[in-house]
Structure 1
Amino acid sequence: MKFSPKQTAFGRHETFALRYGWLSKGFHHLSRSASSLDKDDATVKLGVGKNMVLSIKYWLKACQLVDVSNQPTELGRLIFDEDDGLDPYLEDEATIWLIHWLIATNPSQATSWFWFFNKYHKPVFTSLELTTALGDWVRDVMVDGKRPSAGTLKNDAQLIHRMYCQSVISNRMPLEEVLDSPLSLLRLVSQAGGKEFQSRLAARPGLPIRIFGFAVLSLMKERKIKTIPLDDLMYSRAEFPAPGPVFRLTENDLITKLEQLVMKYPKALEIRETAGIHQLYLLQSTAPEKLLQDHYEKSQEGVVV
C-alpha cells in the first residue's frame, strides 16, 4: 500500500483493460494450480489469446487476489473461492468498488493507477496531458531507479481512462473494443467532450458503506495506527493512498460516509475533535475483512447497505 520508487510496475497489462470474467476464471484456475496459466493449454481453457492470458495473470496480481508467486491471497480466497467465496463470480457491484480500491492502493504492481487516483488532481484532462503528467511524476520520484519508456507510460495513461470510461459505441468499432471494463460502472472517469476526460470529486451514493469502511480500516492497519486525522482520509499523505481521492469523494461525502460507518459500528469507531483536529478513533480491534463479510451477508439478505 505504501509507495516505494524501488518497487514499481508499468505496462505489464499487455494493453488490455481488465474485463468481466477474467478475475473469476483466472483465480479459479490458479487456485487449482499456481502454474495453470503458464501451460500451453491455458489459452484453450480460458478462451482467450496468449497475450490476454498474460494480462489476466497481471490483473490478478494488480487486484491483490494472488501474490507474486501466483498463489491466492487470503483476500482473494475470501472473495473468489469457488466454494466459499463471498462473490466468486463478480455479481455484486460492491466487489467492483473493492477491486478498484485494491488496484489504486497497489503501487508495486499498478504504479500508474496509484499515481492517478492518489496524486493526480486535475479534474479535466486530455490523454496527452495525462501522459505528460505521469512522465513528470515518474522523473520526480524515480531519480535513481530505472524508468519506464515514454511508450510504456503512454500505454498506461491511455489504459487508465479507457478502463474507467464507458464506451461510445460506433458501428465501425470491432466488438473487442466496446467490451467495457467492469470498472466503468463506477463512473470515476468519463468523457467530457472532444478529446477531454474528467474525473471529478463527487458524492458516491453507490459506494457501499462497508466497502468504504474496509478501505479506511485497511489504511489504518497498514499504517499501524488506531487514530487518524480525517484529512489523512481525504488527502493522500506522504507515500500512502487515501479513500478520498481513490473513490473521488467530496469532503462532505467523505464525512457523511464516516458518520454512517460510525453509526453501524459504534463500539469500534468514533469521531472526536482533539485540539481542533477531527480524528477517527479505532476503539477496539476490528479486522477490515469483517466489514466485507458483513456487507455480503446483508446483501444476501436483501438489505440495502
Structure 2
Amino acid sequence: MESPLKPISHKKASFGRHETFALRYSWLTKGFQAFEKNKSIFSSDEGTIELGVGKNMVNAIKYWLRASAMLLDADDGLEVSDLGKAIFNDDGLDPYLEDEATLWLIHWRLATNAELATAWYWFFNCYHKAEFTSEDAMESLAEFVRNNLNGKHSERTVKQEVAMILRMYCPSKSNAKSIEESLDSPLASLKLVSAVDDQHVYRSYGNLQSSLPIELIGYAANEIFNQRQTEYLPIADLMYGPKNGIALGSVFRLTESALLAKLENLVKAYPNIFQINETAGVNQLYRQDSKTESLTFLRHYYKPNR
C-alpha cells in the first residue's frame, strides 16, 4: 500500500490551491459527508447549493480534504480514505471535530503532505527558527523552493502561503476579527504558533503538548516506520528527521524531553509493538509488530473500551 506520508519531491509541489480560504471547522465534515453521497459534488453546480458556499469555497473545501488525506486521488477522480471514513462517517470516531486529538491528527496529515501542502510541510519539518517575522519566514520559504523544487512557482504565491499558515495557526485577538473569520482556524487551538509584539513577531517552539495523546504519537510513528520500511528509528531522527524529511518531534513542536517522555509512555502502553533500546550509544525506537495498522492506535484512543 502506498504510504500516506508525502516527503519533499523535487517534481511535486503545490502552492495556493486553497483559493486563499483557510480551513474552517465545518468544512471537512460537510465536504466529506457530501462527497460520500454524491461523488460529483465538487465538479457539479450542486456543490454550491449542497455546501452553501460559493464556487471558490467549494474548491477550497475539496483542496483541504485532499491536503489532509481525507480524500485521495484515484484513477477516476477522488475516493475516500480509510482515515476519512474512520473519522467522518456518521458513526465515525469524531465527525464534528469535538476532540482536540482530531485537530492534532489533521495537523499531522497537512504537515506530512509535501505534495499538496508544501508550505505546511516545510514550516513544520524544515523551518527551525523559534522566533521570526513573517518576512523572515517568507524569504526562507522562497529560498527553499528555489533550492529544492523543480519548475516555476510564483514567488508571490509562495510567500502568501506563510501568511496563510500564520492565519490558520496563530490565535487571533478576539476584537481583531469578525466571528466568521475566527471560524477559519480550528488549528489555532493547538497553539503551535503565537504572535508577539503586536503580531509583527511570531514564535513557534517546542513544548510539552499535554493535549497530544500517545495514541497519536503511535499512529504517526507507525506511519513513519511504514514509509521508511525499517525496524528501528533513532529517536533523534524522529525528533529532527533526515534532511528535508518528516520530523515527528518538529511537526508536533515537542521538546526533546517531551518526545522521549511520550515515546516511553507509548512503549508502556504498547509493549508488544514498540520498544526503546540503546544501540552503539544511540537511543532507538524499535517496532516489533510491522502488521499493526496505524488506525488501531486511533481506535484505542477514541473507543478505549471497544
TM-score by length of 1: 0.93
Picking from 188, 194, 198, the partner of 1:190 is 194
- Contact 1:30 1:36 (C-alpha < 8 Å) held by counterparts: yes
Residues 156-165 or 68-77, more deviating: 68-77
Distance 1:47 1:190 in 2: 32
Residue number in structure 2 paired with 1:46: 51
Q: Percentage identity across aligned positions?
A: 46
1:295 to 281, 295, 301: 301
Shift of 1:70: 2.3
Alignment of 1:68-147 (within 5 A): 68=73, 69-82=77-90, 84-142=91-149, 145-147=150-152
- Give the 4+ runs in structure 1 shifted more than 4 A: none
Amino acid at match of 1:179: L
SS of residue paired to 1:185: helix
Give the corresponding residue for 2:3: none
Deviation at 1:81, TM superposition (A): 1.5
The Cα of 1:169 is off from its aligned counterpart by 2.6
Tell me, in whole angstroms, the C-alpha distance in 2 between the residues paired with 1:70 and 1:120: 31
Partner of 1:222: 227
What is the CA–CA distance in structure 2 between the aligned matches of 1:65 and 1:183, rounded to whole Å? 16
Cα shift at 1:42: 1.3
User: Equivalents in 2 of 1:242, 1:132: separation in Å?
Assistant: 22
Deviations 1:179-217 (A, max 9, x none): 241101100001122311110111111101101111111
In structure 2, how many angstroms separate the alpha carbons of the residues matched to 1:32 and 1:45? Answer: 11
- Once the two structures are superposed, what CA deviation does each residue of 1:216-262 show, in whole Å capped at 9, x if it has no partner? 11111111111111111001213421211000100000000000000
CA contact (8 A) 1:219 1:242 kept: no
SS in 2 for 1:103: helix
Give a deviation string over 1:8-41, Cα, whole Å, max 9, x none: 1111011111100100000011112221122112
Q: 1:210 corresponds to which residue?
A: 215
Question: CA RMSD of the aligned region, Å?
Answer: 1.4
2:26 counterpart (21, 28, 40): 21
Gap regions ≥5 residues in structure 1 = none
Q: What is the distance in 1 between the residues matched to 2:37 and 2:225? A: 33
d(CA) in 2 for partners of 1:126 and 1:10?
A: 20
Contact 1:229 1:279 in 2 (8 A): yes
SS class of match (2:210): coil
> Residue 169 of structure 1: which of 168, 171, 174 is its match?
174
- TM-score when normalising by structure 2: 0.93
**Matched residues in 2 for 1:288 and 1:114: separation?**
20
Deviation at 1:51, TM superposition (A): 1.1
Residues 1:65 and 2:70 aligned together: yes
Tell me how far apart the structure 1 counterparts of residues 179 and 56 of structure 2 sit (CA, whole Å): 18
